[in-house]
Structure formats: structure tokens, C-alpha cells
Chains A and B, each alone.
Chain A
């Protein structure tokens, strides 16, 4: 059994709205799999289905070889989950929550727990109600990473972390991969998935629209580059992989695929390069270009139905 997660044709409806509409997703053992999609595309719904918290309306699903709905507890013994919006008991301290979750999970590595507290710089004696979103996320991350799970499901785990802690988190994910663990990492930031993933699947409106090694998906992404040059060179738009050339005085802006980067650099360097800025490709642009719709396309994206209490 090579696949830790297998979903095919999964449908999940909320009322008449199909949040997942025939979703296919496979995660192989030992890989870090990026699960990319804009807000409201169905990432969280997919993860909750894989955890048996939601019941699917169709399709088939295996997690660690088991049915996540029927054998939820058995599946969970081997996996760790960090929700996208971590909500903790306001009256418990971070340390209490970490230990409690460890105990509920059936075991936790104390040394690793303490090391992680250090790495993420979290005060375990503070009450959870005083934690920021980032700190709540750290609590869930530490609780998850301190377990001995086979499979880690992380739902936008860095959305509240500062850049320093984000790097620490990336280091932890690399460590997991080196240990042979499997990670499913959802994100709406292309560069994040790029930095960590062996493979990515891109979800849009409840369907996976692309899936593969990053190198295979490279052709989808374009870097945008702006350069100030002494003399604007001719024929930039004839370089393969260079698009949308805009010239304003001595300033050139282009969109470039990975294949066009080297020739473009040669051309602008020859033209007397004075300054250069580049922006990594974003998911939004990719969606706009390949699927003809802005990323925020699904109805009421990101807004959960709220309830009066």
C-alpha cells in the first residue's frame, strides 16, 4: 500500500451547494504534498472529510488504508491534524492543551515537546484566551509535531506565524520528510507550497485541476520582473517564455516562464542593467491565466455560516 490518502470522485454538498464536486486526490507515502487552492475552494472541507468529521455524499476515500468515517479513531491514532482556524479552551494554558492533546492521541514525545516549545518560542503557562492566532496555531503545531504520527494533515499552518517561525516550521516539515513521514500541507500561497512540497495538487471550486511534481507544473507559473536599463533592448517579446512586455521610459516589465529566465537576464544585462525587482508567481495570477477566472471565484468564498449564540 503506497498511498496514504486516496480520494476519488469525492462529492460533498452543503445543502444544494457542492463544496467538493468530484475531487480526486492521492498522497503517496513519504511525500510532502502541497494542497493549493484559493480561499473557499474546498481545502478544509477535503481535510475534514479525510478525518471523518464530515460525511461524503459520494465517491470513495481511503486514509491509511481505512475508511475515515467508519474507522475514524483507528485512522486518527496514526495521524496528526492542525486545523486552519485553531480554537482552544480559553481557560486552559497552552502547555495544558498540548499535553491534553498528546494524551488523547495516546502518546507524546516529552523531549520533542519541550524542544518544540523552545523552537516556536511559546510560553506554555499562558492561558489560551490571551494567545494570538499565531500562538494558538503554534499550540496545535507543537501538539501535532510532538506525536509519533505517520501522516500529518496541516491546514494553512503558517497563516498566523511570523516569518521567523515560518522558517522554523519549514525546517520541521523537512525533518518530517527525512524521517519518512507523510505530510499533506494545504495553502493558498504558491511560494509556500513550492518551498516544501514534492508534489502539489491544485484545487479550484471543489475539483483538483492540476496535480504532479512541481517541475511538471513549472510551466504554469510566471515570475514578474521589472528592470531599469540604460537602453531598452529590442525583441524581448521574441524570447521564448517571455510575455506581456511593457516599456515605460527606461523601465521594462515582463512576465516570464522559468524557461525564459536565463535568456531574459542575458538580454537585460547586456542592455546595462541598473536595478531589478522580481515577484514570485502567485496563485491568483496562475488562476487568472489558466482558468480564466480570478482566484476568489466560488460563492461566498471564505465566509463560514455563522451562528448567533
Chain B
């Protein structure tokens, strides 16, 4: 056993060095979001009556319960404030831990990094051990930093600790799931895919369990994400439940180790099936589409499911605010339909920023293809630089547009059903299409950086995160207007609320063309860089 762990420490050190920027950034991002939400919650729900009203409405709205879960203490500010974080952001955290675990196991095998190290003294289980040390460590640090952030945001200490430890334990559970998937899947990508499917399925399990009457039923208890909710931070703080995800880790680690003994470095237990012996698509375009289509399809499914769910909430929005004051405000705003519109506009804006995430990840193929050396192979043929870059850039832009079209239609259909008003489909779709240019601007930033500073292409993620943060928390932070104005999302008309003109949309398109164009200039004048 000890023999098989030789070199773990070296690997941990190397991994920490490699992740020294990204890991802290992610941890800070999660903690900042938690802090901002906690800090804002006091103003949103100033008294117990407001809290109980909101919580009761949430608990009695099926699609809300399906999406986020239940609030187990309607009078608790923390439980209400953190409702979106107990399941939804927990799933995001699980994805992060999965990616970290796979990155330091199978992905390292694929890049040959481990092979290089294995020629030195390296035990068979050292990579698994090192990856889990990193992801467990990251989970725990993230949990504790979040606890501190929540306390700093004004929430009770005990509940904040329960919440942070819940995240830590969930991170541990899904890291272990990923460690097993890493042994089975035929590639690092499919290992991530398998783990994400586990996350999605267990998310659905808890949705079913939470919807049961009386909830939560056994389905919630079959899901690590359900466990995290059943810790009931700020609503009873059931510490013992924290043992469940940890126990899952304890069970899965030996499984991963046992499976590892049955496979070779670089291959999974599941072997690749033979593929087609020929290529029957178009040239560069076929390639660009081939490289993006699977991720695109996953996004398309997610966008449609969430879109319909969110759209179907439209009918219940005005029920949330039942206090006389709120009702009065609603009347001032123009009645319940205005409130529904505001809700739809807000949700579509969120979907717009999410789709921008797709745009950035798709456009990042520019860099990942170049860094992997694939671009060198393509450019040695009669394919021009411009054509090659355009294939990936355009595929990303078109993907963004299609996803937002799907968003609009599915939110629109959901809203149309909920409000018994088929005219919603068209107006909500227009609202979603208005989000396209802002997402295009962010996507074009990838090309811009890629053209001039290829090794820093990933910094486009930083821009995206900064833009999103400015939109979410800019007001809260009292950010100056000029800073807020830097974010393209700030200029997207909030449809279907207003009737704001087409001008800002046109400007955003112009900006993305200019930004992308400058990127092209750099790309056409620089060396290919590995």
C-alpha cells in the first residue's frame, strides 16, 4: 500500500503549483457570491413577516421546490437567503471538484505528464491520492472560507458553519465520484461527462424527493445534493447528516483504487469502440462543428429544461409579494403583469450571461487547438489562418445565437402555459434574442486576447466573471457608473419590460465586430505558439 503511494507528495506540490492561480480564484469567487447574497438578504427581507411570506410562497411553488428545494424554517433569514446556494450552487461546486479531480488524474495521463513522471519513482495510486488531496483540500478550504464569508455577511455563526461544512462534504463526495469515473471512462472528457451526469441525476433525485408530499421523501436521501440540503443550515443545523457525504467518499476511494489496478495508464476500464474509418463532413467547418457539437447539445438540453422551468414560474411571481406594501408597489409598477415581465426580464438576463459562458468556452477552442498542436497540422494544409480562426469563432457565435433562441422559445413556452397567454412566446423570444450581442462581445474578447497574447487567452474568463460580478453586485458595491458601463451586459435592453430601442443592441454588435477584428489582426501577424 505504502509502495503504491510513493511520489504522492511530489505530485501534490506540482499540482498546487500548476493551480496556484485558478484554484484560489474559484474559491474566492464562490465565497464572494455567498457573501454578497448574505449581505444583501437583510435588506431584502427586513422582518420576520416578510421572510415567512417569501418562504411560504417558495415552498408552495412546485417549480421553485424542484429547482431549489424547500425552506425548512420559514422564519430563518439564512435559510431563505441561501436557498439558491444549497442545491444549485452546490451542483456548480460539485462540477468544479469533478474537473479538478479529473484534471489531475486522467487528463494528466492523456497529456503524458504522468507518463513522464512515472518513469521516475511513482506509485500506482499516487496520482489518485494526489488528486484527492487537492480536491478534498480545495473543498474544505472553500467550505471554511465560505463560512467566514457568510458570517461576515451577517448570518448566524452556527448555521454558516453548517453551510460551509455542507459544501466541503459535498465537494468530497463528488471528488470521490470523479475518482471512480476516472478509472472507468475511456477519456478525461468522458470521465467529466460521466461525473456531471451523476451530478445531474442526483440533482433530479432530490427534486423528486423534495416535491413529494410530505417531503422530503427517500429520493432526497439518495442524493448527495439532497444530503447537503438536509443538513438544513440555518434551519436546525443537523450536523450528523454531514457524515453521509464523507462516508460516500470513504466507500468510493477503495473502489477507485481497486479499479485502478485493473487498467493501464491512459486507458479506462471502458475501452473505446472502433470509430468510422473516414471523414464525411466538410473540412475546417466540419471540424469546428465536430469539436463543439457535443458540448453544445448538452447546453441545449440544459437551456430548454431550465427555460421551461423558469418560464413556468411566471404565473406565481406576484404571489411572492403579498404584503400590502408590496402590493402597492406592484400597482405603481403597472400591475401584476408588469411584475411578471420584470421577473422574466431578470431571468432571461441571467440566461444570457450563462450562454456567454458557453460562448467563451467554445471560442476557447481557438487556443486549446493551437496549444495542443492541432492548428499546426491544419495550417500546413491549404487552409488559411483566417479561415481556420473563423471556423471556430463563427461556430461559437452561432452556438450562442442558437442557445439564446432556444432559451427564448422555452422560457416563452413555459410562460405561455403558466399564464395561458400564447403571445408570451414571441415577446419572450425577442427578449432572449436581444441578449445575443452582449454574449457575442464576451465571445469576441476570447479572439482578441488569442490574437495578441495567446498564452493569456484564458484571461477572457476573468473578463466574463468581472462583467457578471459587476452586474450582480455592482450596485451593492457602489461601483462607479463608468466601471459598470464596461460590462456589455449592462447595455442589453431588459426586455420584455421596456420598449428600449434597437440602438444599444446595434452598438454591441459593432463592438463585437471591432473586438473580433482586432483579434484577427493579431492572429494574422503572430507566430504559432505552443
Contact = CB atoms under 8 A, between A and B. Distances in A.
B373 interface: yes
Interface of B: 18, 110-111, 186-187, 189, 266-267, 272, 274-280, 282-284, 286-287, 290-291, 368, 371-374, 376-385, 455, 525-528, 530
Contact of A76 (B266, B372, B382): B382
The B interface is mostly helix, strand or loop, or mixed, namely: loop
Contacts, number: 124
B279 A53 contact: no
B187 A309 contact: no
A233 B377 CA distance: 58
A51 B379 contact: yes
Interface of A: 48, 51-55, 72-74, 76-77, 79-81, 83, 85-93, 95-101, 103-106, 123-127, 129-130, 140, 304-305, 307-309
A91 B382 contact: no
Contacts of A52: 379
Nearest to B530: A304
24 contacts: A53-B380, A53-B527, A53-B528, A55-B526, A72-B385, A73-B383, A76-B382, A83-B377, A83-B380, A86-B373, A90-B187, A93-B274, A95-B277, A96-B275, A98-B279, A99-B279, A101-B377, A101-B381, A104-B378, A104-B382, A104-B383, A106-B381, A124-B277, A309-B111
Contact of A53 (B267, B283, B376): B376
Nearest to A125: B274
A125 B277 contact: yes
Nearest to A81: B380
Given A72-B385, A87-B372, A100 B187 contact: no
A81 B376 CA distance: 10
Given A100-B286, A100-B287, A126-B274, A53 B373 contact: no
Given A53-B528, A95-B277, A90 B381 contact: no
Nearest to A104: B381
Given A76-B381, A95-B276, A88 B286 contact: no
A93 B290 CA distance: 13
A125 B276 contact: yes
Contacts of A74: 382
Given A72-B379, A307-B371, A91 B187 contact: yes
B286 A76 contact: no
Nearest to B294: A91
Nearest to B376: A83
B525 A55 contact: yes
B20 to A, nearest CB: 9
B23 to A, nearest CB: 12
Contacts of B110: 90, 129
A-B interface, 9 closest residue pairs, ranked by CB to CB distance from nearest: A87-B373, A95-B277, A99-B279, A125-B274, A104-B381, A81-B380, A93-B275, A124-B277, A53-B528
A86 B287 CA distance: 18
Given A93-B274, A93-B276, A101-B381, 9 more contacts: A87-B373, A92-B290, A96-B277, A125-B275, A126-B274, A126-B275, A130-B267, A308-B18, A309-B368
A258 to B, nearest CB: 38
